Amino acid sequence: MKIFIIEDDISVIGILEDIVERSGLGTVCGDSGDGLPDPERVLALEPDLILIDLLMPEKDGIQVVRELKERGCGAKFIMISQVSSKELIAKAYTAGVSFFIQKPINLIEVRQVITNIKEQIDNEQALKTIQSVFAGREAPASQPAPADRRRRRLTHILSQAGMAGEKGSKDIIDLCMLLLEEGSSVSQTGISVLCARLPGPPKSTEQRIRRAVERGLSHIASLGLEDYDNEFFLRYATRLFPFHEVRAEMSFLQGKGPRGKASLKKFLDGLIILVEED
């Protein structure tokens, strides 16, 4: 995996390069050590992943991400910054950023987030390979995974996330089954619209789902406090929740700050991806 680093602090570039190389996560194909790089230079290198700082002297990272995407850049983006503004973080995700890592740099966090991105890229490339094999042939009738297998898998994941006993878990499973059957996502449809398609008052359904997801966030954060290398913490902390919110919840559990906030959109979209991966 080829990685490009856009960061105005040379020391941070060095730290990131060291993490990437020592962890065997890929090859750093370029960086912005000499100043903000020309977009054409970045595109010519065809990186698979771009690590980018949010706040830089010449141009902020969100602008750079948008510009690169407009020029056809297909790389994944991980944004790094000390900023904790919810508005800026939301703009970053809207611009196309996959993950958000807060400074100071945490080796384990960076390594895990890049590993997750690498898995996504590998899965996408494997799918393209399969599709290319059948290119030009008559497409066979699609054979989706049996509904009962998907439902069992959803139940299993929610159990590992400490949510199996929550009332909203059934709503989450029903909602995900609906999305899987239609090949849609929460981003395309919207939480309120989806809840209105399930039995019962939509607001009550959404409240149950939110409580269940908040319970999952708290459970995963508690696992991370007990053991940062916990299997379920590593698997779900960045796939189902914004990691900065997991860190906030961990601090809350230690009595050091406000609670983390769960994103229903990220949780449900991430849950669907997990179900389809296995």
Rounded Cα gap, residues 106 and 101, in angstroms: 9
β-strand partners of 28: 3
Owner of token pair 């909203």: 168
Rounded Cα gap, residues 156 and 185, in angstroms: 20
- Other beta carbons within 10 angstroms of residue 99's beta carbon come to 24
Q: 77 is written with which tokens?
A: 């983006």
The answer, yes or no, to whether residue 205 has pLDDT greater than 50, is yes
The mean pLDDT of the chain is: 85
Give the domain 2-127 fold: Rossmann fold (3.40.50)
Rounded Cα gap, residues 184 and 154, in angstroms: 16
- Per-residue 3-state assignment (H helix, E strand, C coil) for 97-136: CCEEEECCCCHHHHHHHHHHHHHHHHHHHHHHHHHHHCCC
The residues spanned by each domain of the chain are 2-127, 147-277
Rounded Cα gap, residues 195 and 202, in angstroms: 5
Characterise 76 by phi-psi region: left (phi > 0), alpha (psi -120 to 50), beta (else): beta
CB 89 within 8 A of CB 244: yes
pLDDT, tens digit, 9 for 90 and up, residues 116-158: 888 888 877 777 777 666 665 554 554 444 677 888 888 888 8
Residue 144: per-residue pLDDT: 47
Residue 82 vs residue 135, higher pLDDT: 82
